[in-house]
Chain A
Amino acid sequence: MFSRNHRSRVTVARGSALEMEFKRGRFRLSVFSDPPEDTELQRKLDHEIRMREGACKLLAACSQREQALEATKSLLVCNSRILSYMGELQRRKEAQVLGKTGRRPSDSGPPAERSPCRGRVCISDIRIPLMWKDTEYFKNKGDLHRWAVFLLLQLGEQIQDTEMVLVDRTLTDISFQNNVLFSEAGPDFELRLELYGACVEEEGALAGAPKRLATKLSSSLGRSSGKRVRASLDSAGSSGSSPILLPTPAVGGPRYHLLAHTTLTLAAVQNGFRTHDLTLAGHEESPAWLPLYGSVCCRLAAQPFCMTQPTAGGTLRVQVSPFLLSLPTHICRSPGFLLQETRVRAGELEQAAGRPFTLSISNRYGDDEVTHTLQAESREALHNWMEALWQLFFDMSQWKHCCDEVMKIESPTPRKPPQALAKQGSLYHEMAIEPLDDIAAVTDILAQREGPRLETPPPWLAMFTDQPALPNPCSPASVAPASAWTHPLPWGRPRTFSLDAVPPDHPLGASRSVAPLPSQRSSRSRGLYNKGPLRTWLQSPV
């Protein structure tokens, strides 16, 4: 995760303002006043830092391997994001300091640099084939060796992750159900995929008693992590440039290893499935080695904004042939339209007597050249139309085949909670951990605590020990991580999934109460009474 090839490497010069801020425990680059985009990035960075604190504590409190795997994954994603945002902030600050500002305003003429429009990039239906060899069957003496894997995806400074998936030798592919959307990508985007894996079975010594550990970590995390950061800063200063390593509490917990990676660009975009090469990291003797075939299959779609958002409006009177009002995109999507063969000319007043402010678009359709003449309302409107058309043509030249047709992109569905593991039975039967929700809640609660670190175990710790479930199951409405918890919640949301709720075709004892248990039902109506579309109306003789 902290490889030196990571794009978001942050270098901190000794004695720099950034180092000073860092030492004080504040990652705020607020030497100059921040433009709005930087404020937004700063806010995201602060959020990730809080999430990270929560993830550390959650990890320390885990008593079971599977919980620890999820918590470690969350922690690693937080770490990656923190590094990425810090790198981006530093880059912007450097650009600002060096005086690179935006385009100089000009009253007339086209802008000096034309930048292409942004777009949405969505990767979905990711499938990574595996290639098990016969030796795999003999290696483990009948035990099913399992791995926990997930993908980290980075585009620009945005990092997203897939859900964690369990893999064993009965699977032929690793499949991820998520579709991951990046909302502001340029045509020169680089989407980096990294596949991380960890062994599900314990590698070595077990962690100590959760309670003791949590107490130790809660009380000492601040000081020790601060010490380590300072130490790494000192070494960074002396060696010149090395990345800041945010400390990870490696207390016998699972370790994820980079298994493979690849980078996808505009050329890889296609409105359908495509197979790309994966660069494998490591070899057979590497930890958590998985026999990857070496490819990744996915659908990488791109929707440039020039195809989906109106950039110009108004009225254009059509002289020659009928057109829709959404003129530019209509023209450009006509069959036979060739960008290179298009010429746009503004009509001069004297040329077209009685037809001022005209605009003609010529295009070659096969052997014919067709010219469409359009009339704008005013000179200013004409200018705007010309500008819009030039921008459109430029965007299309940059986004290339993404402008041939609008690729369908579905909004990512909300992340499902981690599934119960069949091997262990109902792991999540007693409690459900939705890492994003819960870590946010933990961190928010922690953030509200001021003053010294807590010496006594926090109340939520009871969730991970053998103490009885806490009262007051909260309704599991989806909580946005940024929302503030204004009232103190009894931390502990033993949401019981009705995993052992008996479906209708199972025999039920007469004594069993049949009324649905309200505390066990989620707002999504899980359970036996709403199993999807009901098609039958059975009749039975008695």
Chain B
Amino acid sequence: IGEPVPPQRVEIHKLRQGENLILGFSIGGGIDQDPSQNPFSEDKTDKGIYVTRVSEGGPAEIAGLQIGDKIMQVNGWDMTMVTHDQARKRLTKRSEEVVRLLVTRQSLQKAVQQSMLS
């Protein structure tokens, strides 16, 4: 069903709010979390990091990040096998003003999975 589509690259420029640099979205998931409670994942054993909320008008929305996206990498760092806190820290480094995410989307995921199975 559909041709295989590669993961998306999303470049987010952080916004300075007082002392903090924010990206404008929320994450859920992690290897120390209960994956069955993830509303966005296709596979309920998937312990990856997912985008659970995107602030309206924030840097993430501007960059094209969507709710339900699964974050595979941040600036080259793997995000598929991290704890929740590690994921959060990787995204909120004060020294980085730009983060480049590699994400997959639900429809893309299905396609990628099926292309792997066939």
Contact present for A534 and B88 (CB under 8 Å)? no
**Distance in Å from the Cβ of A218 to the closest Cβ of chain B?**
48
On chain B, the residues within 8 Å of A535 by CB distance are: 34
| Chain A residues touching B, majority SS | loop
What distance in Å separates the Cβ of B28 from its nearest Cβ neighbour in chain A? 4
Closest Cβ–Cβ distance, residue B83 to chain A (whole Å): 4
User: Given the complex of chains A and B, what is the CA–CA distance between A531 and B32 in angstroms?
Assistant: 8
State the Cβ distance, A378 to closest chain B Cβ, in Å: 60
Which residues of chain A are near B33, meaning CB under 8 Å?
534, 536-538
Chain B residue with Cβ nearest A508: B86
- Mask of B6-45 contacts with A, CB within 8 angstroms, 1/0: 0000000000000000110111111111110110000000
A517, chain B: closest CB distance, angstroms:
13
| A540 and B27 in contact, given A504-B83, A505-B85, A508-B89 (Cβ under 8 angstroms) | yes
B82 at the interface (CB under 8 A from A): yes
| A108 CB within 8 Å of chain B | no
A510 touches B93 (CB 8 A): yes
Residues of B within 8 Å of A, CB-based: how many? 30
> Does A542 count as interface, using CB distance less than 8 angstroms?
yes
Cα–Cα, bound, A510→B37 (Å):
27
**Interface residue? B98 (CB, 8 A):** no
Contact with A along B77-101 (1 / 0, CB 8 A): 1000111111011111100000000
* Nearest opposing residue in chain A for B36, CB measure: A537
Q: B81 contacts which of A505, A514, A528, A534 (Cβ < 8 Å)? A: A514
A515 on the B face (CB < 8 A): yes
CB of A204 within 8 A of chain B? no
Contact A542 B85 (CB under 8 A): no
Min CB–CB distance A24 → chain B (angstroms): 62
A539 interface residue (CB < 8 Å to B):
yes
Q: How far is the CA of A515 from the CA of B83 in the complex (A)?
A: 11
Query: Complex Cα distance A313/B52, Å?
Result: 64
Task: Tell me the nearest residue of chain A to B88, going by C-beta.
Answer: A540
C-beta contact mask, A494-515 vs B, less than 8 Å → 1, else 0?
0000000000110110100011
A529 touches B (CB below 8 Å): yes
The answer on a CB contact under 8 Å between B32 and A529 is yes
Give chain B residues whose Cβ lies under 8 Å from the Cβ of A531: 32
Say yes or no: is A471 at the interface (Cβ < 8 Å to chain B): no
Residues A534 and B34 in contact, CB atoms below 8 Å apart: yes
Chain B residue nearest to A509 in the complex (CB): B89
In the bound complex, CA of A536 to CA of B35 (Å): 9
B110 on the A face (CB < 8 A): no
Return chain A residues, CB-CB under 8 Å to B52: 539
In the complex with contacts A531-B32, A537-B37, A542-B81 CB distance below 8 A: no
Please give me the residue from chain A that is nearest to B47 by CB atom: A534
A536-B82 Cα distance, complex, nearest whole Å:
15
Q: Does A541 contact B (CB under 8 A)?
A: yes
B30 touches A541 (CB 8 A): no
Q: Contact at B28–A542, with CB atoms within 8 Å?
A: no
User: Could you say which residues of chain B place their CB within 8 Å of the CB of A529?
Assistant: 31-32
Whether B32 and A539, one on each chain, are in contact in the complex, defined by CB atoms closer than 8 angstroms, is: no
Which residues from A are CB-within-8-Å of B28? 537-540
Return the chain A residue nearest B32 by Cβ. Answer: A504
**B92 and A542 contacting across the interface, CB-CB below 8 Å:** yes
Per the bound structure, the CA–CA distance linking A504 and B81 in Å amounts to 13
Contact status of A542 and B26, CB under 8 A, knowing A504-B85, A505-B85, A510-B89 = yes
Residues from chain B with a CB closer than 8 A to the CB of A508 are 85-86, 89
Q: How far is the CB of B89 from chain A (nearest CB, A)?
A: 7
Per a CB cutoff under 8 Å, which of A514, A537, A539 touches B82?
A514
Which one, B30, B82, B91, contacts A542 given CB within 8 A? Answer: B91
A 217-237 binary contact with B (CB < 8 Å = 1; else 0): 000000000000000000000
Contact A536 B34 (CB under 8 A): yes
Note all chain A residues with C-beta closer than 8 A to B93: 510
Q: Which of A514, A537, A542 has the most C-beta atoms of chain B within 10 angstroms of its own C-beta?
A: A542
CA distance A504 to B83 in the complex (A): 7
Inter-chain CA distance A310–B28, complex, in Å, is 56
- Cα-based distance from A537 to B34 in the complex (angstroms): 5
Q: CB-CB < 8 A to B77: which residues of A? A: 510
CB-CB under 8 A for A537 and B29, given A505-B85, A514-B81: yes
Binary per-residue interface labels of chain A (18-37) against chain B in the complex, 1 for a CB within 8 Å, 0 otherwise: 00000000000000000000
A266 to chain B, nearest CB (A): 49
The closest CB in chain A to the CB of B38 belongs to A537
Min C-beta distance of B81 to chain A, whole Å: 7
Residues of B within 8 A of A537 (CB): 28-29, 33-35, 37-38
Q: Taking CB as reference atom, which chain A residue is nearest B28?
A: A539
Cβ proximity bits A387-424 to B, threshold 8 Å, 1 near / 0 not: 00000000000000000000000000000000000000
Q: Which residue of A lies closest to B14 (CB)?
A: A542
> What is the minimal beta-carbon distance from B42 to any residue of chain A, in angstroms?
16
Q: Please measure, in the bound complex, the distance between the C-alpha atom of A534 and the C-alpha atom of B88, giving whole angstroms.
A: 19
Which of A505, A536, A540 has most B Cβ within 10 Å?
A540
- Beyond contacts A510-B89, A535-B34: 8 other A-B pairs, Cβ-Cβ < 8 A, are A504-B83, A510-B93, A515-B81, A537-B37, A539-B27, A540-B88, A542-B27, A542-B91
Interface residues, chain A, CB within 8 Å of chain B?
504-505, 507-508, 510, 514-515, 528-529, 531, 534-542
- Name 23 interchain pairs, CB-CB below 8 A, sorted by A: A504-B32, A504-B84, A504-B85, A508-B85, A510-B77, A510-B89, A510-B90, A514-B81, A514-B86, A515-B81, A528-B32, A529-B31, A534-B32, A534-B34, A536-B33, A536-B37, A537-B38, A539-B26, A539-B28, A540-B84, A541-B26, A542-B23, A542-B91
10 tightest Cβ-Cβ pairs between the two chains A and B: A537-B37, A534-B34, A539-B28, A504-B83, A542-B91, A504-B32, A541-B26, A542-B23, A539-B52, A540-B88
